[in-house]
Chain A
Amino acid sequence: MRLLPLIASAVVTVGLVAVLNTQLPIGATKSPKLGYFLSPQHGFWKNAEKVNTNFDASIVASELKGNVDVYMDDRLVPHIYADHDEDAYFVQGYLHAKFRLWQMDFQTRVASGRLSEIAGADKLSIDRFFRRLGMVYGAEQTEKYINENNPVMKATVDAYTAGVNAYLKQLSPEDLPFEYKLMNYTPEEWTPKKTYLFLMFMSYDLTGRSASADLQLTNTRDYLGYDLFDKLYTNQQDSLDPIIPKGTAFAKPSIVPTKPVGSDIAYLKKQDPNLAASKISASPEAPDKNNGSNNWAVSGSKTKSGRPILCSDPHLGLNLPSLWYEVQITTPTHSTYGASFPGSPAVIIGFNDSLAWGVTNAGRDVLDYYELKFKDSTQKEYWFNGGWQATTNRQEIIKVKDSADVVENIAMTHWGPAMFDAHYQNPQSKGRNLAVKWTGHNASSGVETFYKLNRAKNFDDYLSAISLWKCPGQNFVFASKSGDVAIKQQGSFVARWDHQGDFIMPGEDSSYDWQGIIPNDENPMIKNPARGFVSSANQKSVDPSYPYYLGTAGSFPLYRGISVNKRLITMNQITAEDMQHLQTDNYNVFAEVARPALMKFIDPTKLSPDAQRMVGEMTKWNLYNNGNEKGITVFKLIWDSVENAVWGDELAGSPIPLTKPESFVLLDQMNKDTNFSVADDIRTKGKVETLKEQINLGVENATKQLLALEKEGRIEWSAFKATRVSHLTKIPALSRLNLPIGGGVNIINATSEAHGPSWRMVVHLTDEIEAYGLYPGGQSGNPGSIYYDTFVDYWAAGKYYRLLFLKKEKLIANERTKWHIQFKTA
């Protein structure tokens, strides 16, 4: 009698458990397992950290050689005091894992093309892209090289790895980071290879733009024909203020790269006025064009104290958890403080008790495509230097959640991996096989650069540390307590002839191959210049008298560098506070030139009343990209729509994405040549538009958008720009949106929509170092922690924290020191 209700009740119970234990589809994504996720003893509630959590702890680890004391300050920055260097890196690994585990795991998954494994077939195109680009291959080269040749770095990375894994070992399932519960997977052991994969990702982020830019530029050149292309994509930047001041003499080059015979036709395609558009389309992934940075150092002659001040602020994607994690590491060999990468040992941008250093991206082209001819579809042989050469096959197996594995068979050639072939093409691509050659593939002891900078005592140590640096090429700025300032552009840079590698190169013989890597001592460097400062902001490092080709103008933003130098030249009696103001300066030097150029062409009598009002807003604007200004929004939209009116027609007909000319090209034309023929809208037959007509048309078009913005209450710059710091998954609920902050592209405060100053640091090299800094994030990666986004509002307001860099006794006694984590050897 009662059997029926029993069965019914059991079925309902089991059914409900099953449903709540399944990831349900919501649109393209999947829900967490709701029962698990909501369970207060298992799910997300366990990640809701007490706001007054006590971080005191005592940890026993048999891997340690001695005891280590960690003191956490009120911003949750750990100050590590260890008796042995390796112990310090063990603890750094442990702390990175404790506060940033999911992020470390996620970022290396992206780098190694393993997102599909946790997120399903949706992410397959990104995974395939990174695999075929050779990210895993590059990390393997470095791992092998360090294991065989560099015992100190091996021990360092091993100790770091052991620290991460010691944390993992004691981690119970209910304490898994929030995102694992949300996406329903679990962490795996850390390995040294993951550290190298993470560093590969930085190489990609800072030099990988060529992977799509070279294809797009090739398309654009083919689409427009060489002559028009050369006009619109000129590398000549008249207003350039290079890192090494103009007129500096360079040594005679040891390599004289020579252009292959016939390359004007075979490579640049100068005599082919209208090539059919090449069929390879843009890549699915591309690093942000605005990845860049500012850094500078002023010598004592320009400061109030008579001591140098060094500033560095890398501009990268703004994410939560942040790319950066602050740390102090003190051992008997050194004492250093700064921003570290969760995923890698040592401090990356920071200072020690003798000196400070910072980096900006060099922007040099170190990635090229070569066109391959395979003998047949097996891709076992390719034509090279007059014969069929054998390829080797590299297999990359991509695991896909809820689906079968995907296997990438990549033919390895003289150039590198055959990235694009019959198996990997976009819908439009037919038959082009492209191998990629990239300095990022080469083994590197790059991690040792930071290891040595952390310990450097003087200029020579700095030079020897950075001499190991290969990829991504950086401008390393330097200042020491002893009074030196310097900057050097360092990396493995290809000795290029003009335009080598701007486009896809012929790969059937070695004539288009790299003719050498520029020796380190020919890389641009300047020490203690007469003007009393050194600086860089991703502009071209040198004027055209430098004997090697740097790459296309699109890789070298002009205006931030001009802004920085203009200000530094006039500043004297500088204090650390002045430097903070300069790092957060919103002056728009591009608009300073571009606004009058526009006004020359704008004819108010021909404009609608609304457009006249908008032009009025623009003319009364103070040229600062402050958050509350309207004039900058008006200026930006007018400029963009003028560019669109001028270039839009030439580029509109293309079925594949083309590269837009740089802003300086149009600006130079407006100042030089009012009869600019490209201004004509080629779509209107029988009518020739002048630049003047196009600009006034642009103003009217922009006015329409501006009126709509005004209605929505979004015409003020910060509301229009809507800067955000996004969670790595892009989930809005875990991100900080609509931050009240000014700045923008071309501005020293380079804060755009999702991109900007990711670690602002000012170091005054007085006897007791006076340092300030912060990044837009928080020390904890846990969205349930009060320390998750602690610094974001302060960062948006342009404020700084005084960094605590003290000897152990003084730090213990400091009122900002809150917690003590003891690490004891077993």
Chain B
Amino acid sequence: MKFIVSILLSALFAYAVGIYGNLPWWSFVITNLIISVALNQTPGKSFLSGALGVGVLWLGLALVIDAQNQHILSVKVATLLPLKGSYTVLITITTLVGFLLGGLSALTGSFVRKS
């Protein structure tokens, strides 16, 4: 239960701080850390809940945006980066960045609690 709540909170707060474009893009690192300190899970569970929270949020947002855009921009960016024009790879990388930073920030939080 705590694990699920943790994922949901992580996603919710990441989304909320992302609405304000004036805050830096990495603001969810702070919210994730705080959530992780507050909820006190094992480092493994912390990492996973933080990673899933942000990763799934980013995946979901990217998927919806990309579908509504009919891949117009994602194909261009995936050619530019260069990812051979594959929007699937681009969405995967987007997800991975959210996943990794979400997980690492939560992991750090869990260690704060334990030290």
Residues in A lying within 8 Å of B, measured CB to CB: 1-3, 5-6, 9-10, 12-13, 16-17, 20-21, 34-36, 38-52, 172-175, 178, 182, 731-734, 783-786, 788
Contacts and interface: CB of A to CB of B under 8 A. Distances in A.
A6 B111 contact: yes
Interface string B1-22: 0000000000000010011011
Interface in B15-65: 15, 18-19, 21-22, 24-26, 29, 43, 57-58, 61-62, 65
Given A42-B18, A48-B66, A9 B76 contact: no
Contact of B97 (A9, A38, A49, A52): A38
B73 interface: yes
Nearest to B63: A40
B94 interface: yes
A48 B108 contact: no
A13 B114 contact: no
A783 B73 contact: yes
A783 B79 CA distance: 13
Nearest to B110: A9
B80 A9 contact: no
A45 B69 CA distance: 10
A6 B18 contact: no
B-side interface mostly: helix
Q: Which 4 A-B pairs have the closest CB atoms?
A: A41-B18, A784-B73, A174-B21, A40-B61
A41 B101 CA distance: 15
Contacts of B19: 41
Contacts of A6: 108, 111-112, 114-115
Contact of A44 (B15, B77, B104, B111): B77
B89 interface: no
B14 to A, nearest CB: 9
Nearest to B80: A733
Contacts of A1: 115
Contact of A13 (B24, B25, B73, B105): B105
Contact of B73 (A38, A41, A42, A48): A48
Contacts of B68: 48, 50-52
Interface residues of B, number: 41
A13 B29 contact: yes
Contacts of B77: 44, 733
Contact of B100 (A16, A46, A734, A786): A16
Contacts of A40: 18, 57-58, 61-62, 65, 94
A804 B106 CA distance: 57
A2 B25 CA distance: 29
A784 B68 CA distance: 11
Nearest to A172: B21
A697 to B, nearest CB: 43
A173 B61 contact: no
Contacts of B107: 9, 13
B94 A45 contact: yes
Contacts of B24: 21, 36
B100 to A, nearest CB: 7
Contacts of B61: 40-41, 45
A44 B69 contact: no
Nearest to A735: B76
Contacts of B65: 40, 45-46, 48
A51 B18 contact: no
Contacts of B93: 38
A9 B21 contact: no
A42 B25 contact: yes
Nearest to A50: B68
Given A44-B77, A48-B65, A36 B25 contact: yes
A784 B29 contact: no
A13 B66 contact: no
A44 B43 CA distance: 33
Contacts of B58: 39-40
Contact of B111 (A9, A38, A731): A9
Nearest to B62: A40
A38 B43 CA distance: 27
B26 A41 contact: no
B55 to A, nearest CB: 11
A783 B112 CA distance: 44
B85 to A, nearest CB: 8
A35 B28 CA distance: 12
Contacts of B15: 41
Contacts of A41: 15, 18-19, 21, 25, 61
Given A35-B26, A38-B93, A2 B69 contact: no
B21 A21 contact: no
Nearest to A5: B111
Contacts of B43: 5
Nearest to A182: B80
B60 to A, nearest CB: 9
A419 to B, nearest CB: 37
